[in-house]
Amino acid sequence: MAFSEQFLEPPQSFTVLPFWFLNDELKTEELKRQIDDFHAHGVYGFLPHARIGLAESIPYMSEAWLGHIKACVDYAAEKGMIVYLYDEGMYPSGSCCGKVVAENPRHATRCLHRRPKGTPLEADEYLVHEDTDAVYVNCRSNGVIRGVHYGQDDSEPGAPPSGDILNPESVASFFRLALDPYYETLKEHFGKTVIAVFTDEPDVMGRGHRDNSFPWTWDFEVFLQEYLGYDMRPRFAALFDKAHPDHDQFLRDWRRAVNARLEQVYYAPYSQWCKEHGIALTGHPAQPGDIGTLKYFQIPGQDIVWRYIEPYQDKSLDSDQSATGKCSSSAKRHYGRARNMNECFGAYGWNFTEDEMWWVTNWLLVRGVDQIIPHAFYYSVRDKRRDERPPDVGPNNLWWDRYKVFADYCRRLSWILGEGKQVCSLAVLGTPTSLPVRAARVLFESQRDFNYLDTDTLKSVARTNSSGVDVGEMHYAALIVDGPGFADPETLRVLRPMIDAGRVIPYVDPVPEIPALAPDRAALITQIDALSPADVVVEPTTPHLRCTHLRIDDEDIYVFANEGKEEYTGTLKTSAAGTASWWDPETGKQIEDQPGDSIHVPPLRMRVLRVTA
């Protein structure tokens, strides 16, 4: 199919796919009416999600609940739509709305809690270690999840207890209670209409857990000893005391061990369950820098909520949350996934504007996110339901009559980003749980595209030599180290061929083992350009223009986003040579009479440059 036809009407599988809050009495005809309404507005899929306000006559994962979900999925299949399942009621995932702990109280989240020596233990508490001043106790963390009925929210008496996702027995119970019934009910649709299951920010201690505590599970001291190679128990005092000179080291070791246990017990088996049942694992981990666990996701994801990202603000470039877009898209590319996603707009409030929705969406797309999961479309906004993590960004908002234009725009860009192979020669080093943002801001503001490469991926699947580093289908001619904390001895050993060739560039902070240094942004760009000439050059220069370059078949596609308040107009040079044409994703049509060496990007919109040889 010609580019013009595909761009105008890309496959419906690239649709926006909203959270659909099922939060009231559910009626089959009303469910179908809303699905029809989605479809009429360019939304060809949905993610049914139990939320607070769900009728008490529909307990989570009951026959009544499964019957309503089956009615939705059956109808979606008739209409050729796609469905992602949600694995919890509500979040974080891992407890099946408290059923895991109700079946076995030992499966509640645990913690290591420090108390003064001599403090008596209570029921279900066990001594792990004691020193001269304190006892360290394995006890319930008292963590909860948000439930689906009134009275089950945070801090309310009915809030369901969180399940221990560091405990393989508890995780097996979760799969049996939360996943297997969906498969038995919907097996004819798995891998066809039901494409994925969404796990939501799994939390090893639950929400509202005890203060002054660390994640724990049964016999965790054995795992710590095996994983770390030493007995952590005599170091507990240093772990709890932030002023102790060894605190930071033991805290890093602790976090590595907990993360390894979480991957081994939760994420790896979950990924395997999805593979065996013909669907994808999607969703997102608990923290914005958690890139390491994304290797287990067939559709890696992250989220943007609580106005962590907003138009025209520095936090959208230099906060921890500003790494989320590149986090999931980098994982997609390094592990050969077809798609990556972001759950966006949650808890932005009813003052969230249409312009803000377009801006945040563009922010995600230009960073390589190719599936937008709006949070959320509400089944009901009756009474106080409208104020549970608002806004409704779909049928119950003022812009719904214009939504198809937005949905088609997202579908066109998602198709390009999902189908295209990224052209990119720069990487920024991170760890499995932390992604730096100082150098990333310089690259964004200089129209230099990049990916994050975490140290575990570097060590496990990448290949380094004097020409750079290869991982998946990507080849990076230069690697930026944004802080000495990312350059541990083993990482430096793996990078030695690149270091010797001058292809590893510390930014701002020197790393003793690496001779090069870019002390400021100008030096960073100069050193990068010497290793990999700029793919895009615009005049006049601007810090507000973002760009990503992809190849579809034998064509080069450049996607530009303007994150500034004013329109940008200038001249453009690209590394790709050939006949250039500009395309508008809002209309799906070519922009006539705009030469390829001229660039014009209005605010709140994106433009596509197509270069054919």
The domain segmentation of the chain, as residue ranges, is 424-534, 539-612
Cα(575)–Cα(260) distance, rounded to whole angstroms? 42
- Residue-level pLDDT at 328: 98
The sign of the CA dihedral 201, 414, 269, 222 is negative
Identify the band that residue 587 occupies on the pLDDT scale cut at 50, 70 and 90: very high
- Residue-level pLDDT at 2: 86
Please provide the average confidence, as pLDDT, over all residues in the chain: 97
pLDDT, mean of residues 69-86: 98
pLDDT, mean of residues 2-13: 94
Which residues, other chains included, contact 183 with Cβ-Cβ below 8 Å and sequence gap of 6+? 190, 277
Q: What is the dihedral of CA 242, 243, 249, 255, to 10 degrees?
A: 0
The sign of the CA dihedral 386, 391, 394, 397 is positive
DSSP 114-159: EEETTPPP-TT-EEEEE-SSEEEEEEE---B-B-SSTT-STTSTTP
What 8-state DSSP symbol labels residue 345? E
pLDDT, mean of residues 377-401: 98
pLDDT, mean of residues 147-156: 95
* CA angle in degrees (0–180, nearest 5) for 398-404-405: 95
Residue 400 has pLDDT above 80, yes or no: yes
Strand, helix or coil for residue 217: coil
Cα(174)–Cα(190) distance, rounded to whole angstroms? 19
Beta-strand pair 421-422/372-374: unpaired
Cα(255)–Cα(271) distance, rounded to whole angstroms? 22
Percent of the chain beyond pLDDT 70?
100
Which residues, other chains included, contact 116 with Cβ-Cβ below 8 Å and sequence gap of 6+? 133, 134, 135
Cα(566)–Cα(528) distance, rounded to whole angstroms? 29
SS3 per-residue string spanning 421-484: EECCCEEEEEECCECCCHHHHHHHHCCCCCEEEEHHHHHHCCEEECCEEEECCEEECEEEECCH
- Span 539-612 CATH architecture: Sandwich (2.60)
Query: HSE (CB half, 13 Å, CA atoms) of 177?
Result: 22
For the chain, helix (H) and strand (E) counts, in that order, are: 18, 29
* CATH number of the 424-534 domain: 3.40.50
Instruction: Let me know if 234 is exposed, middle or buried by CB neighbors in 10 A (0-12, 13-18, 19+).
Output: exposed
Cα(269)–Cα(202) distance, rounded to whole angstroms? 14
Residue 1 has pLDDT above 80, yes or no: no
**Chain-centroid distance, C-alpha 274:** 18
pLDDT, mean of residues 519-540: 97
Identify the band that residue 485 occupies on the pLDDT scale cut at 50, 70 and 90: confident
Residue 409 has pLDDT above 80, yes or no: yes
Cα(284)–Cα(83) distance, rounded to whole angstroms? 17
The structure's pTM equals 0.96
Per residue in 256-270, pLDDT (tens digit) is: 999 999 999 999 999
Per residue in 277-317, pLDDT (tens digit) is: 999 999 999 999 999 999 999 999 999 999 999 999 999 99
Residue 155 has pLDDT above 90, yes or no: no
Q: How far is CA 49 from CA 85, 282, 418, in A?
A: 8, 14, 25
Residue 484 has pLDDT above 90, yes or no: no
Percent of the chain beyond pLDDT 90?
98
Biggest alpha carbon distance in the chain? 82
- Residue-level pLDDT at 611: 97
- Residue-level pLDDT at 5: 93
Q: How far is CA 379 from CA 9, 390, 392, in A?
A: 28, 13, 9
Return the residue matching tokens 């390094």. 334
Cα(415)–Cα(437) distance, rounded to whole angstroms? 28
The edge-to-edge listing of strands for the beta sheet with 280-284 is 280-284, 194-200, 82-86, 45-50, 19-22, 377-378
